[in-house]
Amino acid sequence: MRHGKKFNHLGRQTAHRKAMLANMACSLIEHKRINTTVAKAKALRVFVEPLITKSKSDTTHNRRTVFSYLRDKYAVTELFKEISVKIADRPGGYVRIIKLGNRQGDNAPMAMVELVDYNEIYNPKGQKAKKTTRRGRRKKTDDVAPAETVETTKEEMQKMNCNVFSISDSIVISEQNFTRLNSWLVARGFTVEKVPYAEIAKQEGLLRCSTLPLVRD
């Protein structure tokens, strides 16, 4: 009987499920960001966050406990030496899940799993806020090259095809039907994660209009 067993088995036996989550956790620790299905992403968050909490206290007992789950000494070393320093001041919630829409083929809902403190766009540490004054100051009018822009048509605006959202310096989430903008971004070296607008609407207005600057000083 399985009374009270509410967790998602992911269609696997216990040994297979534990091995899969261990491999995914090692990949997340190594690359700091991975793509997977939403169901696996939620299971991975429950699996890996207690291990990250244990890495805050670098003891032999904690290392052996984490190794019993991850089964990879290199991932354990990376977790206790690098990641534990980054998340030292965070009381929890080390993993962020961003939905990416459905996968072509089996229509499975996909998501991006990333370590929160390794996203410099959301967490610009060490940057002090600029002081502002009530009196306006003259701006320097140096010779600055005009920024490249993509003009949208009225039909594209009505279909909400011009919304983008940058999650790093080189990765952008964009509406999948705005092929012209997506091709323009890819040609300039950006990685474009294409998401249908129906999924974007579930994020309660997560994306912003295409005036969002993609290149920052």
Listed range (5-14, 49-58, 71-80, 121-130) with the worst mean pLDDT = 121-130
Domains and CATH numbers, the chain: 14-118 (3.90.1030.10), 154-209 (no CATH)
- Residue 7 in tokens: 């967790």
Cα 145 to Cα 139: distance, rounded to the nearest angstrom: 16
Is residue 201 scored above 70 in pLDDT? no
pTM above 0.75, yes or no: no
**b/e burial code for range 176-199 (CB count within 10 A of at least 16 → b):** bebeebbeebeeeebebbbbebeb
Report the length, in residues, of the chain: 217
Is 214 a residue whose pLDDT tops 60? no
Task: Please check the confidence at residue 135 and state whether its pLDDT lies above 70.
Answer: no
In tens, the pLDDT along 173-185 reads 777 777 777 787 8
CB 195 within 8 A of CB 100: yes
- Cα separation, 183 vs 51, whole angstroms: 40
pLDDT at 210 over 50: no
* pLDDT tens track for 20-64: 999 999 999 999 999 999 999 999 999 999 999 999 999 999 999
What per-residue confidence (pLDDT) applies to 195? 77
Residue 36 has phi, psi (to 5 degrees) of -160, -175
